[in-house]
Structure 1
Amino acid sequence: MDSPVPSRPPAPRPRHRDRHGRGMRGPIAPPQVPLSVSRADAFTDLVYDSRDRLERRWPQLAQVDFLVLEVPGFGPDGDPDPLADDEAVPLGRVLPATGPHRDRIVIYRRPVEIRAKGRDERALLVHEVVVEQVADLLGLAPESVDPRYGQE
C-alpha cells in the first residue's frame, strides 16, 4: 500500500494594498508636513520662534533660558510653584537668575493651548505670552518690547 504523501499547505498569497481595486493609497500627510512633529514639539517651536524674533531687537535675550512646561504647579527644578495658589492659571512666568541658573522664562503649554481655538490663534497667543514675560524680565511695557504687541 502506498502511504499518502502529505500535501503542502498552499503558499500564502502576497497582500496587496488595493484590496478593492482602488489602487495604492495616497500619502498619509502632505510632503511639506513632517510626520514626526508632535503637538508639544510644535508648541516649543512657536516659543523659540517668538524668542528668535525678539532676540533680534533685544540681544540680551541670548542670556535667557526659555522653557516649556506642560502645566503650572511645579517649577523646573521640582520646587513648588509659588503662583500655583493663585485663582487664575498662569500662562507663563519669569524665574530670575539664582545660583547656577540664568534668568528663565517658562511658558505653560496646556493653559495656552486651551485658550487658543486654532493654530494661528495659538501662535499669536504664544507670542503675546513670550512678549509679556520678556517685558516683565526687562522691566518694560510689552509695547516697548514688541511694537506690534496687542495689534495682531
Structure 2
Amino acid sequence: MSRSRRSAAPEPTVRGRGRDRHGRGIRSSATGPFLPPLRTRIDLFDMTIASTIEYLRGVWPEELGTSVFEVASGPTSVIPGVGVERWMVTPETNRVVFYRLPIQRLSRLHENDEMHQRMMIETCVFRGVAELLGKDPWDLAPDRFRHF
C-alpha cells in the first residue's frame, strides 16, 4: 500500500503578541483569574500619596489647584548635616516630589504594619504640602482632628 503525500508545504503557525508555548494559551497572572492581584509596597505607596493629595485638594482647592505632585524613587544627593530628604518642595514651580525609598525604608516605626506605614506616608504628604503652602501641617485639616 502506498502512502499519500501532501503536495503543499505546512502553513506557519501564527503567533500572537503574548507567549503561547506548546499551544497551552497565553500566560495568566500569577494570582490566577479568581484571586485579586497582588499588592506591592509601590502600589500601596502610590495609592496612599494619591488619596492624601486628593483629600488635601478638596480642602484647599485654590491653593493646590495648579500644584504638581510627583513620586520618585529617591533623591540624587545627600544634604550634608540634614541627611536624606523625604520630599523636595519647589515653590517657584509649585511642585512637590516625594521620595519613596527614604520614606519607606528610613522611617522608624514602632509597629511595622500596613496602617502605620500609611500613617507615615500621609504624615510626609501633609508636611510636604504644608511646606509648599507655608502653613503648619496641623492647620491643613483642622476639622479632621476634632472629635467633639
The two structures have a TM-score, normalised by structure 1, of 0.61
> Of residues 61, 64, 70 in structure 2, which corresponds to 1:61?
64
RMSD across aligned C-alpha pairs, in angstroms?
Answer: 2.7
In structure 2, the partner of 1:14 is: none
What is aligned with 2:21?
none
Matched residue SS, 2:135: coil
Unaligned runs of 5+ in 2: 1-29
1:131 match? 126
Over 3 Å counting, the alpha-carbon distance change for 1:40 and 1:137 in structure 2 is same
Q: Which residue number in structure 2 is paired with residue 70 of structure 1?
A: 73
2:74 is paired with a residue whose SS is coil
The correspondence of residues 72-151 of structure 1 with structure 2, limited to 5 A, is 72-73=75-76, 84-97=79-92, 102-114=93-105, 115=107, 116=109, 117-147=112-142, 148=144
Return closer, same or farther for 1:144/1:29 CA change in 2, 3 Å cut-off.
farther
Unaligned runs of 5+ in 1: 1-26, 74-80
Identical counterparts, % of pairs: 27
- TM-score normalised according to structure 2 size: 0.63
